[in-house]
């Protein structure tokens, strides 16, 4: 408990934003810089779901060293306090908030965590709190 993991930084490109949006969230402010200028955002922005996918990749890159991989049990909260734009560099900071044994399966534990996806200036573009399933260490 209390451990923190930080990923390497990654720059998000306009081409990535548009490609993701074309496939999964085809709204004008994700697809077309001209249309995006006339939108609420005023410029091209990544879909929140693209930000979530990038966050997952960066969580894997953060070196959390969980046996068997990062297995999600659920999210208690997910928010996008600021938009992610092309050319911005992001990284994640994962903080372990709590550990507890599973009540139904003695071989696994539940980790409660907070993930902040941050621009290089420290502005959060995504914040989430959730739970992970992890194998428990043997008592021997």
- Residue 139's pLDDT is 61
Check whether domain 4-135 has CATH 3.10.129.10, yes or no: yes
- Would the pTM count as exceeding 0.85? yes
> By CB neighbour count within 10 A (0-12 exposed, 13-18 middle, 19+ buried), where does 134 fall?
buried
CA distance 100 to 109: 6
- Residue 67's pLDDT is 60
pLDDT along the chain (140 residues), means of 10: 92 98 98 97 98 95 77 94 98 96 90 97 98 79
Q: Domain ranges for the chain, please list them.
A: 4-135
- By residue count, the chain amounts to 140
CA distance 131 to 23: 28
Nearest to 66 by CA among 35, 110, 126: 110
């Amino acid at each position: 408990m209390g451990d923190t993991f930080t990923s390497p930084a990654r720059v998000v490109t306009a081409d990535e934003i548009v490609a993701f949006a074309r496939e999964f969230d085809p709204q004008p402010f994700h697809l077309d810089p001209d249309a995006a200028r006339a939108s609420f955002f005023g410029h091209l922005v990544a879909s929140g779901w693209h930000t979530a996918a990038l966050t997952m990749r960066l969580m894997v890159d953060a070196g959390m060293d969980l046996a068997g991989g990062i297995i999600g049990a659920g999210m208690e909260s997910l928010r996008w306090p600021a938009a992610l734009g092309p050319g911005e560099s992001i990284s994640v900071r994962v903080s372990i908030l709590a550990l507890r044994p599973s009540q139904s399966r003695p071989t696994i534990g539940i980790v409660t965590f907070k993930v902040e996806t941050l621009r290089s200036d420290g502005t959060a573009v995504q914040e989430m709190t959730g739970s992970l399933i992890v194998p428990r260490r043997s008592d021997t």
